[in-house]
Amino acid sequence: MPTVSTEDYLKQIRKLQEGAARVSTSALAASLGIADASVTAMLKKLAGQGLVSYQPYQGVTLTEKGEAFALRTLRRHRLWELFLVRHLGFSWDRIHEEAERLEHATSEALEAALDRALGFPRLDPHGDPIPSHDGRIEECTGAALTALPTGALARVRRVADGDPELLRHAGRLGVVPEASLEVRERFGFDGSLRVRVGGRDRFLSAEVARHVFVDLLEARDG
């Protein structure tokens, strides 16, 4: 049985591994808020358990076993996030820290019960894919909203879940997964946008637009 720390390390390594093949000690330490030296020590333990492949000075990668545990924790995390929103009335900017704890207190049976109660969902409230029970996970598709031309029609697919304040802001504007929007105007000098969403015109800063990912429905001139 992995510990809470083990689960959080593996989950974080997996996240950092997207894009870069090897994860550096310092990157992992910074993202976990833990001292570099402590991470070095932990990586040796994880390697000893066959959860990561670690060579001194060369960073880490997850083994198959490590990735399976990482995905199991991520699945529980995202099931809880959706459950908190749908069944307990939480707003999507308050669920991350709750799920961060609940994911470690979730048995196989509870995971299955959550999944069933939610109708075997494929996406969490932020639009991120929920890994399947047997460890498959869909790719995150969708282009950043910043990439859309004026006049484009698109559907929001996902909003990056890193910053609760950004989530609360986007949520108030109606920029949530499944929402349709149209790019009305682009301000090149600062990268901000005016979009039509939920029957209203909204201004989105570049900072917000960078964190919103969409599927293009139609590109037309404005």
Work out the number of other CB atoms within 10 angstroms of the CB of residue 220. Answer: 10
> At a CB cut-off of 8 Å and minimum separation 6, what does 41 contact?
none
Measured CA to CA, the distance from residue 140 to residue 56 in angstroms comes to 32
Burial class (CB in 10 A: 0-12, 13-18, 19+), 110: middle
- Identify the bridge partners of residue 114 per DSSP, sorted by sequence position: none
Distance between first and last Cα of the chain: 57
φ, ψ (nearest 5 deg) of residue 66:
-65, -40
Give the nearest distance from C-beta 175 to Mn ion in angstroms: 15
**Contact call for residue 100 and Mn ion (CB under 5 A):** yes
Give the nearest distance from C-beta 131 to DNA in angstroms: 22
Measured CA to CA, the distance from residue 134 to residue 74 in angstroms comes to 12
Binding mask 13-52 for DNA (x = CB under 7 A): -----------xxxx-----xxxxxxxxxxxxx-------
Candidates 74, 161, 166, 186; binder of Mn ion (CB under 5 A) is 161
Q: Which is nearer to a copy of itself, 101 or 220 (CB)?
A: 101
Of the listed pieces 60-68, 127-135, 171-179, 202-210, which binds Mn ion according to CB under 5 A?
A: 127-135
Q: Which is nearer to Mn ion, 54 or 92 (CB)?
A: 92
Give the nearest distance from C-beta 100 to Mn ion in angstroms: 4
Measured CA to CA, the distance from residue 171 to residue 155 in angstroms comes to 15
Give per-residue burial for 130-158: e unless 16+ CB within 10 Å, then b. Answer: bbeeeeebeeeebeebbebeeebbbebbb
Give the nearest distance from C-beta 61 to a copy of itself in angstroms: 30
Candidates 34, 117, 143, 216; binder of a copy of itself (CB under 8 A) is 117
**Contact call for residue 59 and DNA (CB under 7 A):** yes
Q: Which is nearer to a copy of itself, 36 or 98 (CB)?
A: 98
How many residues does this entry show for the chain? 222
Give the nearest distance from C-beta 195 to a copy of itself in angstroms: 32
Q: Which is nearer to DNA, 51 or 152 (CB)?
A: 51
The binding site for DNA (CB under 7 A) comprises: 3-6, 24-27, 33-45, 54, 56-59
Residues that bind a copy of itself (CB under 8 A): 84, 87-90, 94, 97-98, 101-102, 104-105, 107, 109-110, 113-114, 116-117
